[in-house]
Structure 1
């Protein structure tokens, strides 16, 4: 069954997943979604979740890059994303790279772009975050945030100081994809901001090695194809942890706790220590199961 990645090429979190697909040498199809709302074909699958990327395999819909890479490893264990056999810490690293490291990159990029940022994009991101998107404030913060960005990147350089090829050793893994995408984001969309990386030993050569991994065997699929694939598919069987038994089979709502908090509503049909699975019906996509991570999401019963 085809891996469908709902993405757009400028999405930094999609780049993290694309590098993981490259490490695993997988075939997949890009389903390009709009950068800003509306996203009617994506919401037909997720119910409410609008963030990118989303991975779809048949009628199973996986939200958030953290859960996507976990599911890729579960379904396609070789080559592993954890060559040093440290999956817990390697996955926990996203709580650094996806937050303070990413926020520094965002501030440097959009502070540098200033008034060149599309007003429609600013309005969309304000609706997504619930906070003002203020390039002027970001511009004022650029000197400080450039220093923060350099300090983050220096951690990568330090890890490479023994001459290793990748962050875990001789083979690439999730930690490389997770650390790489913020540097890629800055270099791709505001090249002057990459001055923060200059002179850090080993960083440029490591970046080039990760970039050379590529994205696996990439194809394309339309948004209509993706909706049709969901309707034709059957979700995987799932089970609910004992600790979630009180909510099993009940109508629930799951929502991100950081931004993009629109709740996904449906029936709780599965859970693990790392995720919840919610079954829902859509007039176009049919019966699907939407999977969300536990970290940075909240689940509650619908009263």
Structure 2
């Protein structure tokens, strides 16, 4: 099997969502540490401008956004499943809710507490990335509202665990658990040194759940340099993919398109359409540092326009 290469940095919460999936499946993987702010000169040749973290690479195929990264991990290592049989839709729907709602509320808590300790370059980068102010005073002022919203939504997860189940969808962890561990881990690690802090201290079942998740670990990572990852891409050929000619979008194979996130990091990536399914969309690109590559995105949460 071709190596799974994760481009990430240690404090990235969405990277933790992927790392815990590696742990669940007991996978070996290559770890490329990238900067936590722009510029990211050794990542851009792979993504064509997509700047979010993490990015997963398999040879000359580049996977953007954890929605799609997790599905690709599932393809490469189906057991134990991230998508429990019969509950695939539930797992993915819960993950989308968590990523789009709970995560940003949790960010508000963390940034309100530590924003004034972060460098000015970080504030500038995240303001440009998110389209909202990351000025320390504004972050601190908004933190109480973020705490209320985080608590109100985490209570729902607490209630899901109320019947004694060990994980959100039953006896085994799933994609939904990996997604929820992302913001819970972020709050605990950045503010509590691994311990439960408000509002987690009011949620005993969720706190116990988070300890079970933490025990899963991160699989077996091996460090890889960015230069070596670029060399892997250049030496490889992208996997074959195809375009559904009956897709309701009307998009056609060979069409030049741009793909842009609809929430944050709104940098368009342009290429030739080579893959289209209900789950994802793929474009071919060429960069002198990596040659021919294919960049893959999820359909949900991304805007596709003619280039």
TM bucket by the smaller chain?
Answer: over 0.9
Q: Deviations over 1:140-198 (max 9, x none)?
A: 22222212211222112111111111112111111111111111001111229822111
| 2:263 aligned partner | 258
| 1:298 aligned partner | 303
Specify whether residues 195 and 288 from structure 1 end up closer, same or farther in structure 2 by C-alpha distance, changes over 3 A only: same
| 1:273 aligned partner | 278
| 2:179 aligned partner | 178
Is residue 289 from structure 1 mapped to residue 290 from structure 2 by the alignment?
Answer: no
> Aligned pair count?
302
Is residue 214 from structure 1 mapped to residue 217 from structure 2 by the alignment?
Answer: yes
Specify whether residues 169 and 201 from structure 1 end up closer, same or farther in structure 2 by C-alpha distance, changes over 3 A only: same
Equivalents in 2 of 1:285, 1:180: separation in Å? Answer: 34
1:64-79 equivalent positions in 2, closer than 5 A = 64-79=65-80
Equivalents in 2 of 1:112, 1:234: separation in Å? Answer: 46
Answer yes or no: is the 8 Å Cα contact 2:95–2:175 preserved in 1: no
Equivalents in 2 of 1:281, 1:220: separation in Å? Answer: 26
Is residue 188 from structure 1 mapped to residue 189 from structure 2 by the alignment?
Answer: yes
| 1:139 aligned partner | 140
Residue 108 of structure 2 aligns to a residue whose secondary structure is helix
| 1:239 aligned partner | 242
CA displacement at 1:130 relative to structure 2? 2.9
- Relative to the length of structure 2, the TM-score reads 0.94
Answer yes or no: is the 8 Å Cα contact 1:180–1:207 preserved in 2: yes
Q: Deviations over 1:16-58 (max 9, x none)?
A: 0111111111110111000011101100101110110000000
Task: Give the unaligned 5+ runs of structure 2.
Answer: none
Residue 160 of structure 1 aligns to a residue whose secondary structure is helix
Q: Indicate the RMSD between aligned Cα atoms, in angstroms.
A: 1.5
Residue 142 of structure 1 aligns to a residue whose secondary structure is helix
Equivalents in 2 of 1:36, 1:50: separation in Å? Answer: 9
Residue 235 of structure 1 aligns to a residue whose secondary structure is coil
Equivalents in 2 of 1:176, 1:208: separation in Å? Answer: 12
CA displacement at 1:80 relative to structure 2? 0.7
Q: Deviations over 1:191-218 (max 9, x none)?
A: 2982211132312211110000011111
Equivalents in 1 of 2:100, 2:145: separation in Å? Answer: 16
| 2:25 aligned partner | 24
Equivalents in 2 of 1:41, 1:157: separation in Å? Answer: 41
Residue 294 of structure 2 aligns to a residue whose secondary structure is strand
Residue 198 of structure 1 aligns to a residue whose secondary structure is helix
Task: Give the unaligned 5+ runs of structure 1.
Answer: none
